[in-house]
Amino acid sequence: MLKVVKIGGNIVDNPEKLDRFLVDFASLPEPKILVHGGGKVATTVAKALGIETQMVGGRRVTDAETLKVVTMVYAGLINKTIVSKLQQAGCNAVGLSGADGGFIRSQRRNPVPVDYGWVGDPLPDRFGLPMARTLIDAGYTVVAAPITLDAAGEGLLNTNADTVAQTIAVGMSGVYDTELVYCFEKRGVLMDVDDDNSVIPEITPQRFAELKAAGVVADGMLPKLENAFRAIDNGVRSVVICSAEALTEPGYGGTRLCR
Amino acid sequence: MLKVVKIGGNIVDNPEKLDRFLVDFASLPEPKILVHGGGKVATTVAKALGIETQMVGGRRVTDAETLKVVTMVYAGLINKTIVSKLQQAGCNAVGLSGADGGFIRSQRRNPVPVDYGWVGDPLPDRFGLPMARTLIDAGYTVVAAPITLDAAGEGLLNTNADTVAQTIAVGMSGVYDTELVYCFEKRGVLMDVDDDNSVIPEITPQRFAELKAAGVVADGMLPKLENAFRAIDNGVRSVVICSAEALTEPGYGGTRLCR
């Protein structure tokens, strides 16, 4: 079983949570890939450099200067800090961006109706999977930053980390029995967003349709679950949504998505 | 034959020179590793972030904030820009810092007599060579950033790129017939620093001693040549010092160091 684990900004931004999470992650005995988001560091660095962060519908617009900042912060500072901490925890980690070995190639997002700038959506071409496979089979743990390579030759593109994790899991599922784990700030998908004990243990596509219709699943959770079901439809064995603290717990105490 | 090529700030800082160099480098048919320096970008970013760059004897003092900047700029922005351009030129490049797979482990420099902060000197432990070998043997080109991993577990360390190139060449020479090529702003080691046509074609250790005594080799060239002879003493077949423009020329039109 290969585990593809994604952590978001709430962990990346908090040194204590990150340290605890990385020790847990390093202790997982299975072959594994970690995908990290960016968090607030990019916004802080951009601000300090006098670059205004523009958001449209909760998404960052990536102009040329912002692309430099996210490349520095995601593929440089965050990726190498995580790799260094995993090495210290005894996990032989290798940090990659989507450009390395053509790991994740993408297509620049259509500028109509909203021009997000240098933002790309991953292609399912599996071009870079031989490299990831070479490293995984040799015993290394891959740590992936959400910067991808424009397949049309235009350079680097900023990419949503959830989608990167889903693309990697789908790609690897052709070779390995693969589980995708999204770690986030809640214990799982909650029936009542204010009640941490209302975790829904399992969601099928039919239940997902019901939850959407009832408005239980909305906002940021909606694309996360849609991503997750796309992974299952394309070969990933199961997708789990759980708290970062639950990574080493049996069953993760979270929400498992299945057919 | 494996080629380990090092480029410095004068190429990294100049987009046109960098583009031309990378197309030349991509066209080399041999297995190859590129080691890049940092250039002025780190100083510019540090300044924009309000971090003062402190130099002692021409070397950057790396405090905790500066370490973050060089990690962002060297391992993030510069490394991934180079990888992306090499991918566009048809070269399947993988960018690594010294932390990745423990590629280059180092020892923090003794703070006496000068405390350079988070600066490390590479260890000759060859800990990370299996990963580089795995990638090279699978047909990838490695692009190395001069950020290394403190073997004592203290995290990342800023490291001189010439020394990183020498360490990689020595390490790989145990497995491959290895040539180390330093590309810099002159055509080679010059007999007369003001005459570009005075390239010394070959330097032996005895000739090196004479040139040092005569003051022909001084300043920045001295540690470069000392590094180079250390590489030859430890298994590297030859070291060439040449212009970046001469990379694809037979014999490089530069200076070859040999026993």
HSE, CB side, 13 Å, CA atoms: give it for residue A41.
27
B83 closest CA partner among B128, B129, B25: B25
What residues of chain A lie within 8 A of the CB of B95, using their CB? 96-97, 99-100
Closest partner residue to A131 (CB to CB) among B81, B94, B149 is B94
pLDDT at residue A216 in the model: 87
Task: Name the percent of chain A lying above pLDDT 70.
Answer: 100
A122-145 residue pLDDT tens: 998 888 899 999 999 999 999 999
pLDDT at residue A55 in the model: 84
What residues of chain A lie within 8 A of the CB of B97, using their CB? 80, 83, 95
Token output for B47: 């300044």
B232-243 residue pLDDT tens: 999 999 999 999
Residue B59 pLDDT exceeds 80: no
Residue A91 pLDDT exceeds 90: yes
DSSP secondary structure of chain B? -EEEEEE-HHHHT-HHHHHHHHHHHHH--S-EEEEE--TTHHHHHHHHTTPPPEEETTEEEB-HHHHHHHIIIIIIIIHHHHHHHHHHTT--EEEE-TTGGG-SEEEEPP-SS---BSBEEE-S--TTHHHHHHHHHTT-EEEE-SEEEETTS--EEE--HHHHHHHHHHHHTTTS-EEEEEEESSSSSBSSTT-TT-B--EE-HHHHHHHHHTTSS-TTHHHHHHHHHHHHHTT-SEEEEEEGGGTTSGGGGSEEE--
Binding residue positions of A for substrate: 38-39, 60, 158
Determine whether the interchain pair A131/B140 forms a contact, defined as Cβ–Cβ distance below 8 Å.
yes
Question: Which region among A92-106, A209-223, B81-95, B232-246 has the lowest average model confidence (pLDDT)?
Answer: A209-223
What residues of chain B lie within 8 A of the CB of A147, using their CB? 80
| Confidence at B58, pLDDT banded by 50, 70, 90 | confident
DSSP secondary structure of chain A? -EEEEEE-HHHHT-HHHHHHHHHHHHH--S-EEEEE--TTHHHHHHHHTTPPPEEETTEEEB-HHHHHHHIIIIIIIIHHHHHHHHHHTT--EEEE-TTGGG-SEEEEPP-SS---BSBEEE-S--TTHHHHHHHHHTT-EEEE-SEEEETTS--EEE--HHHHHHHHHHHHHTTS-EEEEEEESSSSSBSSTT-TT-B--EE-HHHHHHHHHTTSS-TTHHHHHHHHHHHHHTT-SEEEEEEGGGTTSGGGGSEEE--
Determine whether the interchain pair B87/A99 forms a contact, defined as Cβ–Cβ distance below 8 Å.
yes
Question: What number is the average pLDDT over the span B108-136?
Answer: 92
Question: What number is the average pLDDT over the span B167-196?
Answer: 93
Residue A141: closest C-alpha in chain B: B101
Summary mean pLDDT of chain B? 93
pLDDT at residue A210 in the model: 94
Domain boundaries, chain A: 2-257
Determine whether the interchain pair A134/B130 forms a contact, defined as Cβ–Cβ distance below 8 Å.
no
pLDDT at residue B163 in the model: 93
Summary mean pLDDT of chain A? 93
B138-154 residue pLDDT tens: 999 999 999 999 999 99
Question: What number is the average pLDDT over the span B202-224?
Answer: 90
| Confidence at A250, pLDDT banded by 50, 70, 90 | confident
Q: Is B39 annotated as a binding residue?
A: yes
What residues of chain A lie within 8 A of the CB of B135, using their CB? 131, 134
| Confidence at A62, pLDDT banded by 50, 70, 90 | very high
**CATH for A2-257?**
3.40.1160.10
Determine whether the interchain pair A84/B134 forms a contact, defined as Cβ–Cβ distance below 8 Å.
no
Burial class (CB in 10 A: 0-12, 13-18, 19+), A184: buried
Residue A39 pLDDT exceeds 90: no
What residues of chain B lie within 8 A of the CB of A99, using their CB? 80, 83-84, 87, 95
Residue A59 pLDDT exceeds 80: no
Q: Are A199 and A23 in contact (CB under 8 A)?
A: no
Determine whether the interchain pair A48/B49 forms a contact, defined as Cβ–Cβ distance below 8 Å.
yes
| Confidence at A190, pLDDT banded by 50, 70, 90 | very high
Query: Which residues of B lie closer than 8 Å to A, measured between beta carbons?
Result: 45, 48-50, 68, 71-77, 79-81, 83-85, 87-88, 92-97, 99-102, 130-131, 134-135, 138, 140, 147, 149, 153, 155-156
B81-102 residue pLDDT tens: 999 999 999 999 999 999 999 9
What residues of chain B lie within 8 A of the CB of A135, using their CB? 131, 134
pLDDT at residue A158 in the model: 96
Determine whether the interchain pair A138/B140 forms a contact, defined as Cβ–Cβ distance below 8 Å.
no
Binding residue positions of A: 38-39, 60, 158
What ipTM goes with this model?
0.94
Question: What number is the average pLDDT over the span B52-58?
Answer: 81
- Among A41, A69, A83, most B C-beta atoms within 10 A, so best to mutate, is A83
A167-187 residue pLDDT tens: 999 999 999 999 999 998 889
